[in-house]
Amino acid sequence: MTMILPTPTGSSSTGTAPVRLAVRGLRKVFADDPSPALEMLRHGATKAEVLQRLNVNVGVAEASFDIRAGEIFVIMGLSGSGKSTIVRLLNRLIEPSEGEIRLDGRDLTGLSYSALVEVLRRDMSMVFQSFALLPNRTALENAAFGLEVAGVKRGERRRAALTALERVGLADYADRYPNELSGGMQQRVGLARALAKNPTIMLMDEAFSALDPLIRSDMQGELLRLQREDARTIVFISHDAEEAMRIADRIAVMEDGRIAQIGTPAEILRAPADEYVRAFFRGVDASRVLRARDIARPPDDGLPQPGLEPVAADTPIHALLGRVAAAPGPLPVVEADGRLIGVISRAVLLEALDRGEGAGREVRHV
């Protein structure tokens, strides 16, 4: 009853990039005196136990993780599991009760308020679920708002805002007011507002959750496209498994204020840490999540057969069937930089497709 797929590869393409955000032993309890609750949590108490014994709400029971430069790090979990609290702790909208947050090696928890504001202003932007646009300002003025708050001069911020609107496909709507825009367009203005600051880190809390499925899917594509150009570090909160699987380099699954599992989409699909994680990804089609790189294996004799057109490592495996079936031998798999990472034979592909589907069926019966 396992769903282990053939090769235990699947490290993300950003796996060797430098760590931008390092979080260690982070805890947040909502109490005037956090000590008794922290003491319970250190001994492994659950949120429910702390609430019951002390009547104290736990936002984050314990979290430690690294977020690397250029990755889209998705935080998932049920309502109340602590996702928004983590994001608010990252940009210091709220203070941690315990633990350490380092940005590029620098401990944010130790910074003075003014130094902190400077760092956050330069490095981070936040996109929320509710568009939070100002109704009496145009799309352009809304997109420029973050820069206005940051004290950037009018001409400069309008230029940056217009560029950002162009990038999200809304240049023609710069002079429109929010009530003249659809929900999806408003969300794009929200995204443009974040982009206009040209942040190196974007925090997106359920940023696409209020959109209907087609527009939501468009926005995910938009984010991936922008990310290919910019390679920002993105922390994206979602409770949608399909969304997480599509956009994430890595996913952290939160359960009751703790991290149940961190891994690439392929790693999590292949080996969910527990029933909670498994249940989250129930029904996700593995053949659309697993990429060529996830199932590529070293060629038998050390080199692939010459003359075969290589497969891009990013290709979802469901799209490989025709090519692999028609090829005279295993197809070489290459990363974008041309590096050969292995080959995919007919047998390996069929096994992966079969096990992927099998695992999906199996999970649904749990």
Residues that bind ligand ATP (CB under 6 A): 30, 57, 59, 77, 79-85, 239
Min dist CB 33 to ligand ATP, Å, is: 14
* Residue 81 interacts with which of ligand ATP, Mg ion, none, CB < 5 to 8 Å by class: ligand ATP
Min dist CB 238 to ligand ATP, Å, is: 9
User: How are beta strands 250-255 and 72-77 bridged, if at all?
Assistant: parallel
* Residue 265 interacts with which of Mg ion, ligand ATP, none, CB < 5 to 8 Å by class: none
CB of 84 or CB of 200, closer to Mg ion: 84
Task: Write down the number of H helices and E strands in the chain.
Answer: 16, 13
* Residue 158 interacts with which of ligand ATP, Mg ion, none, CB < 5 to 8 Å by class: none
CB of 40 or CB of 352, closer to ligand ATP: 40
Spatial strand order of the sheet with 98-103 comes to 106-107, 98-103, 19-30, 57-68, 258-263, 250-255, 72-77, 233-237, 201-205, 124-127
Binding mask 62-91 for Mg ion (x = CB under 5 A): ----------------------x-------
**CA proximity to 20, closest of 82, 86, 90:** 90
CB of 84 or CB of 97, closer to Mg ion: 84
Min dist CB 206 to ligand ATP, Å, is: 6
CB of 14 or CB of 85, closer to ligand ATP: 85
DSSP state of 103: E
SS3 57: strand
DSSP 251-311: EEEEETTEEEEEE-HHHHHHS-SSHHHHHHTTT--HHHH-BHHHH-B--TTSSPPTTPPPE
* Residue 102 interacts with which of ligand ATP, Mg ion, none, CB < 5 to 8 Å by class: none
Min dist CB 51 to ligand ATP, Å, is: 8
Placement of tokens 């130094």 in the chain: 115
CB of 36 or CB of 80, closer to ligand ATP: 80
CB of 82 or CB of 356, closer to ligand ATP: 82
Min dist CB 256 to ligand ATP, Å, is: 9
Q: What one-letter code names the amino acid at 201?
A: I
CB of 84 or CB of 125, closer to Mg ion: 84
- State how far the Cα of 357 lies from the Cα of 42, in Å rounded to an integer: 40
- State how far the Cα of 278 lies from the Cα of 176, in Å rounded to an integer: 45
Spatial strand order of the sheet with 331-334 comes to 311-312, 331-334, 340-344
Placement of tokens 């390679």 in the chain: 231
Min dist CB 129 to Mg ion, Å, is: 8
CB of 85 or CB of 142, closer to ligand ATP: 85
Are the C-beta atoms of residues 91 and 199 closer than 8 Å to each other?
no
Q: Bridge-partner residues for 234, per DSSP?
A: 72, 202
* Residue 80 interacts with which of Mg ion, ligand ATP, none, CB < 5 to 8 Å by class: ligand ATP
Q: What one-letter code names the amino acid at 81?
A: S
- State how far the Cα of 195 lies from the Cα of 222, in Å rounded to an integer: 12
CB neighbourhood size of 329 (10 A): 15
CB of 88 or CB of 158, closer to Mg ion: 88
Min dist CB 284 to Mg ion, Å, is: 22
Q: Applying CB under 5 A, what is the total number of residues that bind Mg ion?
A: 1
CA atoms within 13 A on the CB side of 175: 1
SS3 280: helix
Min dist CB 59 to ligand ATP, Å, is: 4
Min dist CB 209 to ligand ATP, Å, is: 9
* Residue 85 interacts with which of ligand ATP, Mg ion, none, CB < 5 to 8 Å by class: ligand ATP
Footprint of Mg ion on this chain (CB under 5 A)?
84
